[in-house]
Amino acid sequence: MHEMSLAEGIRTIVQDQARAHGFARVTVLRLEIGRFAGVEKSALAFAFDVTMRGSPAEGARLEMIDLPGRALCYDCMKTVEIADRLAPCPICGGGKLIPEGGDEMRIKDMEVL
């Protein structure tokens, strides 16, 4: 379950930011997760609850924001949203797509006290 290691990484970031900015508690943490990031959201939510115990984010609400998959179509030279890595271009139907986004996961922001 790589979601546990992702949650542990989030915990490290939260702790580092709490020290750097002097906050004691995180009430809400928002994550942006790309369609192709390979993250199982329910597993990440469980791992988040477990790994945040004893940290400034213990009891924080985790909000996950979906980011679309994006690709550059070499047939029409447009950047398009795609639902699947092997999907054709939704504009021209071309098949020469190079993924440009959708595999990221990052902390968007935190509400802190």
- pLDDT tens-digit readout, 24-75: 999 999 999 999 999 999 999 999 999 999 999 999 999 999 999 999 999 9
Between CA 62 and CA 31 the distance in angstroms is 8
pTM value? Answer: 0.90
Between CA 26 and CA 110 the distance in angstroms is 7
Give Cα 42 distance to the centre of its chain: 13
Indicate if the pLDDT at residue 23 is higher than 80.
yes
Indicate if the pLDDT at residue 5 is higher than 90.
yes
pLDDT band for position 105 (cuts 50, 70, 90): very high
Domains of the chain are: 2-112 (3.30.2320.80)
Partnered with residue 71 across adjacent β-strands are: 80, 99
Lateral strand order in the sheet of 79-82: 79-82, 69-73, 97-101
The per-residue pLDDT for 26 is 98
Between CA 5 and CA 8 the distance in angstroms is 5
Which run of H or E residues covers position 90? none
The per-residue pLDDT for 1 is 60
81-87: average pLDDT: 93
% of the chain exceeding 70 in pLDDT: 99
